[in-house]
Amino acid sequence: MKLKRHILAVDDNAGVRTALELLLSRRFDRVTTIADPSQLSHILASDPPDVVLLDMNFKSAVNNGNEGLYWLSEIKRRNDTVPIILMTAYADIELAVRGIKQGAADFVVKPWDNDRLISTIESLLTFRRHTPQASADGMDWGVTDSMHALRAFVEKVAPTDANILITGENGTGKEVLAKEIHRISRRSRQSMLTVDMGSLSESLFESELFGHVRGAFTGALADRRGKLEEASQGTLFMDEIANLPVHLQSKLLTALQSRKITPIGSNRLIDIDIRLICATNADIDSYVAEGRFREDLLYRINTIRISLPPLRERREDIPVLAGRFLREYAALYNRPVETISPEALQILTAHPWPGNVRELRHSVEKAVIVGEGSMLRPEDFTLTPSRPQTLSQSPADLTLADMEKNMIRSAIHDCQGNLSAAATRLGITRQTLYNKMKRYGI
């Protein structure tokens, strides 16, 4: 899949231009090649590129690179944000240093290695202003067609009040997407409240959602509004909705259908006006088939369903996300890191990322902390190796419950009984882990 980027190559050698066009057009959406650098000012003004490949020598028998350095300064004067890769047939380190000091992003020697050149360009695209912008609330849509289509769909449904169910594996960014939906909705001026249904104990379910009055039960020392009332005119996000026990699902359904609640200890009906967004990492349709989730409640919360793909299915977004996380943590920890090496980016892109975006974020954060210098290299990243199948049964023989039980047992074993660490590894809260252990008799 081609990246939607414009690459400009400037070289007076027709053979070089042809080779670059053939190579780069396989990977990038638009490739422009020119022989005369005097055309640069027009192109920079009318059709700015995302990366410039600039030859260092344009005059026959003159190989000192001065003309290339001149045009480098001209490009930087007109567009200080575009990354520039200098190209020369002469491996002159001093010239490379001069070019880098004057603002070039990188330096390659002819004849170049195709894979390395592509990786270098992709690396630069990650860390410059021409990468896809994150939304104000943190949703980074990446560069893949699937995420572009998802963004268009979200922008279409977000302004409505339709209930939305977000599905996806742990770590794919379901809560971030929920915040993005709220941000661009008609309710954005009001609050978005979050309830983790997986960590909500049965005894506190009604109090948390419906509220209570003073004296309603032991410990009810004051009136308390429930989340359904607090979120009035705003958005309520219910995470891990599939973990809600069946007998409590009916109470939630009644409240959503009537759009009224009664606090514990009160006989007063309170109208609720919310936009509901739910999320789950479970196969909720299978839960319905197994009787673990009410079909009528699913209909109520599932007016619109949005499925977030795992990171391994949108690998072209990995460099974009890694670059964003690098900038974020470099600023947070005041570290001098500016970029990731092409070799490290190749490793990150090839990794399966079972923990998805959350795992990538943590890996980049750790690398920023331990890395030395301005560039992160492969040795700065500690990636969890893909674990081979060790279950006694084949996946086809296992139910979802069996697979979840085995994953929990494996995480607890790997963490040497540390339940907090096991919950973090599984991407769930500690209370959710307790609930699942109780359910499965672990």
Residues 298 and 184 placed together within one structural domain of the fold = yes
Residues 212 and 327 placed together within one structural domain of the fold = no
User: Per the structure, how many domains does the chain have?
Assistant: 4
Per-residue pLDDT, 297: 97
| 118 pLDDT more than 70 | yes
Domain hosting residue 405, numbered range: 395-440
| 348 pLDDT more than 70 | yes
Tell me if 406 is assigned to some domain.
yes
389, exposed or middle or buried, with CB in 10 Å at 0-12, 13-18, 19+?
exposed
| 343 pLDDT more than 50 | yes
| 393 pLDDT more than 50 | no
Lowest-pLDDT choice from 51-60, 147-156, 303-312: 51-60
- Where residue 389 falls among pLDDT bands split at 50, 70, 90? very low
Tell which residue, 131, 124, 129, 127, has the closest CA to residue 53. Answer: 124
Domain with residue 91: its CATH number is: 3.40.50.2300
Per-residue pLDDT, 63: 58
| 48 pLDDT more than 60 | yes
What single-letter amino acid sits at 278?
C
pLDDT per position as a tens digit, 240-279: 999 999 999 999 999 999 999 999 999 899 999 999 999 9
Per-residue pLDDT, 386: 52
Tell which residue, 246, 258, 242, has the closest CA to residue 210. Answer: 258
Per-residue pLDDT, 135: 44
* pLDDT, greater one: 228 or 108: 228
Per-residue pLDDT, 390: 38
Q: Is residue 231 a contact partner of residue 178, using CB atoms and an 8 Å limit?
A: no
Tell me if 184 is assigned to some domain.
yes
Task: Tell me what the mean pLDDT of segment 204-226 comes to.
Answer: 87
Q: Note if the bond before 352 is cis, omega within 30 degrees.
A: no
pLDDT per position as a tens digit, 61-81: 455 667 888 899 888 877 777
Residues 86 and 196 placed together within one structural domain of the fold = no
Give φ, ψ of 279 to 5 degrees: -145, 150
| 238 pLDDT more than 80 | yes
* Cβ count near 257 (within 10 Å): 11
Domain with residue 151: its CATH number is: 3.40.50.300
Residues 26 and 150 placed together within one structural domain of the fold = no
Lowest-pLDDT choice from 15-19, 182-186, 398-402: 398-402
Tell me if 134 is assigned to some domain.
no
| 101 pLDDT more than 80 | no
Q: Is residue 106 a contact partner of residue 79, using CB atoms and an 8 Å limit?
A: no
* Cβ count near 105 (within 10 Å): 20
Q: Is residue 364 a contact partner of residue 328, using CB atoms and an 8 Å limit?
A: no
Residues 359 and 405 placed together within one structural domain of the fold = no
Domain with residue 422: its CATH number is: 1.10.10.60
End-to-end Cα, the chain, rounded Å: 45
Tell me if 136 is assigned to some domain.
no
CA dihedral 230, 233, 238, 242 (to 10 degrees): 120
Per-residue pLDDT, 148: 84
Give φ, ψ of 20 to 5 degrees: -65, -40
Per-residue pLDDT, 423: 78
Residues 323 and 364 placed together within one structural domain of the fold = yes
Per-residue pLDDT, 134: 46
Task: Tell me what the mean pLDDT of segment 380-394 comes to.
Answer: 57
Q: Is residue 347 a contact partner of residue 367, using CB atoms and an 8 Å limit?
A: no
Residue where a domain terminates, one of 307, 339, 358: 307
| 365 pLDDT more than 80 | yes
- Where residue 219 falls among pLDDT bands split at 50, 70, 90? confident
Tell me if 135 is assigned to some domain.
no
Task: Tell me what the mean pLDDT of segment 156-177 comes to.
Answer: 94
| 91 pLDDT more than 60 | no
* pLDDT, the chain, mean: 84
pLDDT per position as a tens digit, 21-45: 999 999 998 999 999 999 998 888 7
Beta carbons within 8 Å of 114's beta carbon, 6+ residues apart: 23
Domain with residue 354: its CATH number is: 1.10.8.60
Residues 280 and 202 placed together within one structural domain of the fold = yes
Residues 300 and 323 placed together within one structural domain of the fold = no
Tell me if 430 is assigned to some domain.
yes
- Where residue 97 falls among pLDDT bands split at 50, 70, 90? low
Query: What is the dihedral sign for C-alpha 135, 137, 143, 147?
Result: negative
Lowest-pLDDT choice from 150-154, 169-173, 193-197, 198-202: 198-202
Residues 358 and 432 placed together within one structural domain of the fold = no
Q: Is residue 297 a contact partner of residue 252, using CB atoms and an 8 Å limit?
A: yes
* pLDDT, greater one: 441 or 380: 380
Residues 254 and 362 placed together within one structural domain of the fold = no
CA 110 to chain centre: 36
Residues 188 and 238 placed together within one structural domain of the fold = yes
Residues 164 and 297 placed together within one structural domain of the fold = yes
171, exposed or middle or buried, with CB in 10 Å at 0-12, 13-18, 19+?
buried
DSSP-assigned states of every residue in 197-230: TTT--GGGHHHHHHEE-TTSSTT--S-EE-HHHH
